[in-house]
């Protein structure tokens, strides 16, 4: 799927506010509603848009403790640990990672007692290594390719390419400043 400037514009608006009406989005972007509707369906069918969701302030819901935990399971325990994490209601996010760890998880808890209870259950899974970090303050979340900060990325690359087309071709497909690095 080739991404065009129009796609970046629509995706950026969806990232900023997925609940805005297609009519309103059409007025803001000057892209016909029918085109936006068709593109939205295409993005969903191609799994470019995986899910429409809301970002919550968990503290306002009474969940005051958020942690990030790095886990190493080892070859034999990895599948069992993954199943435990996938099924646990306090685990919000799971990533499979590298550099000596198997998983990075985010856990959300009402209080230290819930966190401690989760820790006991987690330790029963016998991870080889565990490093826990408390999230003190969320400073930025889900902003990449959101309209307010990233609109015009495609235009920036296009303009850069146009300004440097000759040097781009002369340098074997690298922009001049990139070619000088090699």
- Catalogue the E-assigned strands of the chain: 65-72, 91-96, 103-109, 129-134
* Number of other residues whose CB lies within 10 A of the CB of residue 105: 21
pLDDT digits (tens, 9 = 90+) for 123-173: 999 999 999 999 999 888 888 777 654 445 555 555 655 665 555 556 555
Cα–Cα distance between 147 and 151 in angstroms, integer?
Answer: 5
Of the listed ranges 15-19, 96-100, 115-119, the least confidently predicted one is 15-19
Q: What is the pLDDT of residue 130?
A: 97
pLDDT digits (tens, 9 = 90+) for 100-113: 999 999 999 999 99
* Number of other residues whose CB lies within 10 A of the CB of residue 47: 8
Give all domains of the chain, ordered by start, each with its CATH number.
Answer: 1-53 (1.10.10.10), 58-134 (3.30.70.920)
Strand partners, 109: 65
Q: What is the pLDDT of residue 175?
A: 46
pLDDT digits (tens, 9 = 90+) for 55-76: 899 999 999 999 999 999 988 8
- Please state the separation of Cα 80 from the chain's center in Å: 26
Residue with more model confidence, 64 or 178: 64
Cβ-proximal residues to 2 (8 Å cutoff; 6+ apart), any chain: none
- Model confidence pTM above 0.95: no
Q: What is the pLDDT of residue 169?
A: 58
**Taking Cα atoms as reference points, which of 140, 141, 158, 139 lies closest to residue 9?**
158
Cα–Cα distance between 128 and 10 in angstroms, integer?
Answer: 45
Q: What is the pLDDT of residue 180?
A: 43
Cα–Cα distance between 51 and 123 in angstroms, integer?
Answer: 32
**Taking Cα atoms as reference points, which of 16, 89, 24 lies closest to residue 52?**
16
Cα–Cα distance between 93 and 105 in angstroms, integer?
Answer: 5
Residue with more model confidence, 176 or 171: 171
Residues in the chain: 182
């Amino acid at each position: 799927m080739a991404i065009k400037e129009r796609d970046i514009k629509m995706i950026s608006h969806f990232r900023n506010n997925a609940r805005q009406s297609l009519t309103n989005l059409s007025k803001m972007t000057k892209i016909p509603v029918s085109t936006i509707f068709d593109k939205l369906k295409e993005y969903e069918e191609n799994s470019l848009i995986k899910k429409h969701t809301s970002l919550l302030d968990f503290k306002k819901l009474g969940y005051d403790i958020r942690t990030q935990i790095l886990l190493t399971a080892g070859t034999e325990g990895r599948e069992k640990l993954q199943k435990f994490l996938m099924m646990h209601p306090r685990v919000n996010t799971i990533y499979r990672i590298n550099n000596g760890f198997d998983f990075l998880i985010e856990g959300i808890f009402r209080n230290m007692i819930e966190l401690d209870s989760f820790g006991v259950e987690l330790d029963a899974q016998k991870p080889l290594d565990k490093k826990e970090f408390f999230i003190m303050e969320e400073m930025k979340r889900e902003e990449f390719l959101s309209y307010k900060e990233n609109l015009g990325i495609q235009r920036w690359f296009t303009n850069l390419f146009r300004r440097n087309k000759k040097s781009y071709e002369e340098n074997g497909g690298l922009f001049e400043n990139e070619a000088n690095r090699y």
